[in-house]
């Protein structure tokens, strides 16, 4: 369909026969089809990331348990899952913390990874536990087909909670910088 539309718009003989209104309508339909194809491709990528447990949630906003939100740098604030291992990191480019990037980095083993897909919306709910040398964390992620995701991380050891908001990105193209783990 895209090929045919491209040929029609490329040859002046065809477009001269169409009125300007028809040309605009044709271009509008082409753009809608392209957007639908891109959305379907993005949804397939999100599905693959969730099913294979290989993704990074690059956060651009963090919220504490009281609802206070803070815009953050996505390459330092992330949650990642790589099959059996995972990382949770909070960082800042203005401070130097224990992890070298102004915050805390914990990595460990993923246990009890589960996900459910909502057929109607195409979104996913993902849950797993991350066991690290400094404690255990309950991770709950809600991801939309367009890649937007929100995660709640609860420390089962300390009882604190932090919410990450951002996009799911494949591990291979993620641009995060991992600090030193505790």
- Helix H or strand E encompassing 175: none
Tell whether 68 and 26 lie within a shared domain. no
Whether 182 is in a domain gets the answer no
**pLDDT(13) > 60:** no
- Helix H or strand E encompassing 61: strand 54-64
Tell whether 59 and 97 lie within a shared domain. yes
Structural domain ending residue among the three candidates 14, 30, 46 = 46
Q: What share of the chain has pLDDT > 90, as a percent?
A: 65
Whether 178 is in a domain gets the answer no
Kindly report, residue by residue over 98-119, the tens digit of the pLDDT.
Answer: 888 888 999 999 999 999 999 9
Between CA 88 and CA 34 the distance in angstroms is 36
Whether 99 is in a domain gets the answer yes
Which domain, by its residues, includes 113? 53-173
Tell whether 18 and 102 lie within a shared domain. no
Whether 179 is in a domain gets the answer no
Tell whether 92 and 163 lie within a shared domain. yes
Tell whether 126 and 79 lie within a shared domain. yes
Q: How far is CA 138 from CA 33, 88, 149, in A?
A: 40, 11, 16
Tell whether 96 and 32 lie within a shared domain. no
Tell whether 150 and 127 lie within a shared domain. yes
Whether 13 is in a domain gets the answer yes
Contacts of 12 (CB under 8 A, 6+ apart): none
Tell whether 66 and 85 lie within a shared domain. yes
Domain count, the chain: 2
Whether 40 is in a domain gets the answer yes
Whether 120 is in a domain gets the answer yes
Kindly report, residue by residue over 28-70, the tens digit of the pLDDT.
Answer: 888 989 988 898 899 999 999 999 999 999 999 999 989 899 9
Tell whether 38 and 89 lie within a shared domain. no
> Are the CB atoms for 93 and 119 separated by under 8 Å?
no
**pLDDT(20) > 70:** yes
Contacts of 19 (CB under 8 A, 6+ apart): none
pTM: 0.83
Tell whether 39 and 84 lie within a shared domain. no
Whether 181 is in a domain gets the answer no
Tell whether 94 and 146 lie within a shared domain. yes
CATH value at residue 78 = 2.40.128.410
Residue 10: pLDDT band with limits 50, 70, 90: low
**pLDDT(96) > 70:** yes
Tell whether 12 and 62 lie within a shared domain. no
**pLDDT(80) > 60:** yes
């Amino acid at each position: 369909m895209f090929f045919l539309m491209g040929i029609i718009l490329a040859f002046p003989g065809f477009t001269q026969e169409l009125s300007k209104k028809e040309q605009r309508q044709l271009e509008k339909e082409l753009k809608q089809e392209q957007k639908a194809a891109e959305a379907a491709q993005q949804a397939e990528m999100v599905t693959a990331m969730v099913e294979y447990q290989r993704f990074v949630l690059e956060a651009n906003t963090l919220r504490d348990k009281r609802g206070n939100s803070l815009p953050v740098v996505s390459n330092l604030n992330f949650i990642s899952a790589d099959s059996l291992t995972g990382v949770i990191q909070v960082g800042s480019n203005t401070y130097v913390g224990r992890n070298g990037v102004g915050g805390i980095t914990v990595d460990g083993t993923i246990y009890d990874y589960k996900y459910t897909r909502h057929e109607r919306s195409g979104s996913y709910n993902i849950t797993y536990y991350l066991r690290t040398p400094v404690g255990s964390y309950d991770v709950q992620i809600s991801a939309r087909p367009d890649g937007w995701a929100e995660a709640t991380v609860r420390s089962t050891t300390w009882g604190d909670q932090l919410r990450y908001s951002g996009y799911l990105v494949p591990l291979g193209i993620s641009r995060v910088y991992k600090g030193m783990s505790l």
